[in-house]
């Protein structure tokens, strides 16, 4: 395991400072080009807010990975230098960021945004080793190897799904940037301690991205003076999806589960939203006001309070993913069962599935409440007679 050197620490500090300095400039630029979020029924802001703040993150990340990192990192992996390793990733990310920026200024249709995300994902599959070409079934299952066609489909699906899932939770000040820092830090720790020997470049890239986001974060935390916009949310989601692909095809089962658990907040929020909308007769891609942060606000949480609750949930998922990496097989299985049970209680408590959709609560009441049990049985018998 290569120790973290002073040069790398200086690169991280430099990345942070570049992002910190660029964000006010990007704020001024956003106003000039019309990348502004105006108040409406679905938005939280009461006054026009500059968007496209993610440009500061994108630029600082590009400078750090294409200029600073190649200067200090001379190691090669598979005959590739760090520059050769990261260049196609950056190109794919720039396609995503450009798509987001155009949307922040001109409001692209969902179809055009999807095509931009799709193009970025295709670049990753063609020009990098970040592919969903194998998968270890967790907790003692076999290692699956996919054909090129299936690998292509799964890679595109993963990248597009995670990119959009992260974008969907971007509804409160500092929400995506804070959750991303928590998730990426966990991914970085797992990468450094458990995947390091296979891809040291991955660990370095993750931490560079963390510090690029951290420089933007003070301006974005409530009360924010600039938003990530689709420029930043899509870019961060895309980078997280790509970087997490290395864990999904690792031979260690817990490394496979880790990126899925770490991304628990956007994955759960999006999955529940799709199911909820389908059950309600809506199109699954239609927007609504029932996302996690919307439900927390509806329950009476303040803006900052709702954000902190989501941070807490993200930290919980991160802690679980770290525990999985040091647990026995049985311990990991029991931990996942416990997480699933706790998560369902939380979802039903927030009426996340929708009003009166509380299957677990009803099951527990059926088991523990004789009056309720008799009532349900009686209703079932009456319905059967009809």
Cα–Cα distance, 37 to 62 (Å, whole number): 26
Give the 3-state DSSP-derived string for 29-87, with helices as H, strands as E and coil as C. Answer: HHHHHCCEECCCCCCCCCCCEECCCHHHHHHHHHHHHHHHHHHHCCCCECCECHHHHHH
Cα–Cα distance, 321 to 249 (Å, whole number): 16
- The label of the residue with tokens 């660990």 reads 203
- Residue 93, judged by CB atoms within 10 A of its CB (0-12, 13-18, 19+), counts as buried
Binding site, by residue number, is 167, 230
Cα–Cα distance, 3 to 235 (Å, whole number): 29
Cα–Cα distance, 330 to 71 (Å, whole number): 45
Copy the structure tokens of residue 152. Answer: 């292509």
Binding site for Mg(2+), by residue number, is 167, 230
Copy the structure tokens of residue 156. Answer: 């595109």
Cα–Cα distance, 166 to 159 (Å, whole number): 11
Instruction: Give which of 140, 129, 124 is closest to 252, Cα–Cα.
Output: 140
* SS3 assignment, position 376: helix
């Amino acid at each position: 395991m290569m120790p973290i050197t002073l040069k790398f620490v200086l690169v991280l500090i430099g990345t942070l400072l570049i992002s910190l300095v660029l964000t006010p400039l990007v704020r001024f630029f956003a106003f000039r080009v019309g990348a502004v979020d105006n108040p409406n029924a679905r938005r939280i802001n009461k006054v026009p807010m500059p968007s496209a703040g993610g440009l500061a993150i994108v630029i600082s990340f590009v400078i750090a990975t294409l200029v600073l990192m190649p200067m200090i990192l001379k190691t090669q992996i598979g005959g590739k230098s760090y520059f050769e390793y990261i260049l196609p990733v950056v190109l794919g990310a720039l396609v995503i960021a450009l798509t987001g920026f155009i949307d922040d200024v001109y409001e692209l249709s969902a179809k055009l945004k999807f095509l931009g995300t799709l193009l970025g994902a295709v670049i990753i599959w063609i020009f990098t080793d970040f592919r969903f070409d194998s998968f270890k079934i967790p907790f003692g299952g076999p290692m699956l190897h996919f054909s090129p066609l299936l690998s292509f489909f799964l890679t595109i699906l993963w990248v597009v799904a995670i990119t959009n899932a992260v974008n969907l939770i971007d509804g409160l000040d500092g929400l995506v940037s804070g959750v991303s820092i928590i998730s990426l830090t966990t991914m970085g720790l797992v990468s450094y301690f458990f995947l390091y020997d296979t891809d040291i470049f991955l660990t370095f890239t993750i931490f560079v991205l963390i510090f690029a986001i951290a420089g933007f974060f003070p301006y974005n935390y409530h009360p924010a003076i600039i938003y990530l916009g689709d420029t930043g949310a899509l870019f961060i989601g895309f980078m997280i999806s790509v970087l997490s692909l290395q864990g999904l095809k690792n031979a260690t089962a817990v490394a496979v589960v880790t990126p899925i658990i770490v991304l628990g907040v956007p994955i759960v929020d999006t999955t529940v939203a799709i199911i909820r909308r389908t059950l309600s007769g809506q199109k699954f891609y239609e927007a609504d006001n029932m996302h996690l942060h919307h439900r927390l606000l509806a329950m009476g949480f303040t803006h900052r309070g709702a954000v902190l609750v989501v941070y807490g949930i993200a930290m919980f998922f991160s802690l679980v993913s770290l525990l999985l990496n040091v647990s026995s097989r049985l311990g990991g299985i029991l931990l996942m069962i416990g997480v699933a049970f706790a998560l369902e209680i939380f979802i039903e408590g927030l009426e996340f599935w929708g009003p009166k959709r509380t299957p677990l609560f009803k099951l527990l009441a059926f088991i523990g409440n004789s009056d309720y049990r008799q009532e349900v049985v009686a209703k079932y018998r009456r319905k059967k007679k009809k």
